Chain A
Amino acid sequence: MRINYERCGYCGACVGVCKSMAIELIENRVVIYEERCKRCKACIIVCPLKALEE
């Protein structure tokens, strides 16, 4: 999963749908722990700004 930091609005919606706890929002920076990611794409669906891509 890749994050486009230029697009990200650091709202944390992606964090709230990540059942594998693979995403964290630290201040205004989304961090993805790739080793936990199960590629379910829930974060991509819910992002209001298209800031996440595979």
Chain B
Amino acid sequence: MRWVLKDEYDVVVVGAGPAGSMASYYASKNGAKTLLVEKSQEIGEPVRCAEAVPKLEEFNIPPSEEFVRSYIKGGYLIAPNGRRIEVRGGKTEGYVVERKIFDKYLAIRSARAGTKIAVKSRVVDLYPYEDGFKVKIIHLGEEYTVKTKIVIAADGMESSVAEMAGLKCKKNPMEVCSCAEYEMTGVKLLDKHMMEFYFGDLSPKGYAWIFPKGDTANVGLGVIDKKKKAIDYLNEFLEHPILEGRLKDATPVEFKCGGVPVGGPIEKTVDDNIMVVGDAAGQVSPLTGGGIYLAMSCGSIAGEVAGKAVKKGDYSKETLMEYERRWKERFYNTLMTELKYKNILQKLSEKELNIIAEVIDGKLEEVDVKKIMFKVIKKAPSLLKYFKDVIG
């Protein structure tokens, strides 16, 4: 293993989550000599996620039995009074995967494209050096200095690597959802192909979820709360009357926790010789907290752009800006709109959530928030105060 840390590279990707593995895959595919550095001794560990991923076909990844645990057709949005709204199809379709296996699968796929991987290897500093960076890495207590032209920071919620290079990507604590989750067996699901989302005081400024996962289910929640902790909300949720005893015979097989940045993307995702991708870049849906689709998409773009830059021999900010332009073109407006919707959702009282659920009444084909808003205002004009900024 040590020899990979004694070499020089065109591209060093830090963090072997979905963003990093996709970025390194495309960098290697485009001919760049690429190193993927993972801090943990095992790729995919520890899991900090509810494990729902989008349809994978658009990434040319077959939904293999190896990691897919459940096929998801949609979800139930559940109001505080228990009223359910059913959403099916479109973006709600996907899979619940075993992230430990999924992440490792993506890393292996990247390795097959030529990426070298260093595990149990922690980046502790970056120094500008000629036209690139010297990356200081600690592996088994020994220090290595790896030279590279480009760094791709994919170090997730921790967001330290780009910060070392002077980019601002640390998050505001009031824009981070604190999450806690038990993976449980013996859960009585509403439907084994449907995700369940619970809104209201049981999980302030976030939501609670039950996601089917093969023989188990991920039961968790995310909150933003200065005083009370996610774990305390979770323990109450497990016994909440809204579940009508469906967790009575359930027992955990794993505990997971984590922080999800829901404040929208960071301002600068590119500088000379560096790009930031995934959670580190705040590429997370502020409304759902889902980050895997964005991480994989933006990681792919960053990898491709890195490959092109290496071919050109130009690693300047101007060249790497193609990455920022392209990811913003695809996702920026959606992220900013979702941010506005999230801010509204966080203000709604339980009573108001119940009104909205009543107005929608039953099924939704696709989550078209604008359509929903107009319907809601028509039936409950008192809620206009929340929506006027978004409509105007």
Closest residue on chain A to residue B120 by CB atoms: A27
**Known contacts being A27-B40, A46-B259, A50-B231, is A13 close to B172, with CB within 8 Å?**
no
Measured CA separation A28–B45 after assembly (Å):
10
B41 contacts the other chain (Cβ, under 8 Å)?
Answer: yes
Q: B46 — which chain A residues lie within 8 A by C-beta? A: 9-11, 28
Contact A25 B158 (CB under 8 A): yes
**Known contacts being A9-B255, A21-B163, is A16 close to B176, with CB within 8 Å?**
yes
Interface residues of B in 223-250 (CB under 8 A from A): 226, 229-231
**Known contacts being A9-B257, A16-B170, is A24 close to B178, with CB within 8 Å?**
no
Q: A24 — which chain B residues lie within 8 A by C-beta? A: 160
Q: A12 — which chain B residues lie within 8 A by C-beta? A: 48, 156-158, 258-259
Closest residue on chain A to residue B261 by CB atoms: A16
Measured CA separation A13–B259 after assembly (Å):
5
Contact A17 B171 (CB under 8 A): yes
**Known contacts being A11-B258, A16-B259, A24-B160, is A48 close to B170, with CB within 8 Å?**
no
Closest residue on chain A to residue B124 by CB atoms: A24
B226 to chain A, nearest CB (A): 6
Q: A32 — which chain B residues lie within 8 A by C-beta? A: none
A12 to chain B, nearest CB (A): 4
B183 to chain A, nearest CB (A): 13
Closest residue on chain A to residue B169 by CB atoms: A16
Q: Kindly supply a per-residue 1/0 record for chain B positions 32-48, scoring 1 wherever the CB is within 8 Å of any chain A CB and 0 otherwise.
A: 00000001110000101
Pick the most buried of A16, A26, A42, A43: most chain B CB atoms within 10 A of its CB: A16
Contact B231 A13 (CB under 8 A): no
A54 to chain B, nearest CB (A): 14
A29 to chain B, nearest CB (A): 12
Q: A11 — which chain B residues lie within 8 A by C-beta? A: 46, 48, 157, 257-259
Measured CA separation A43–B226 after assembly (Å):
11
Contact A48 B179 (CB under 8 A): yes
Contact A47 B160 (CB under 8 A): no
Contact A46 B178 (CB under 8 A): yes
Contact B158 A48 (CB under 8 A): no
Contact A50 B229 (CB under 8 A): yes
Measured CA separation A25–B39 after assembly (Å):
9
Partner of B259, one of A26, A28, A48, A50: A48
Measured CA separation A19–B48 after assembly (Å):
21
B362 contacts the other chain (Cβ, under 8 Å)?
Answer: no
Q: Could you name 24 residue pairs across A and B whose Cβ atoms are closer than 8 Å?
A: A9-B256, A11-B46, A11-B257, A11-B258, A13-B157, A13-B258, A13-B259, A14-B259, A15-B157, A15-B160, A16-B156, A16-B259, A17-B176, A21-B170, A26-B122, A27-B39, A27-B41, A27-B120, A28-B46, A48-B178, A48-B231, A48-B259, A49-B257, A50-B229
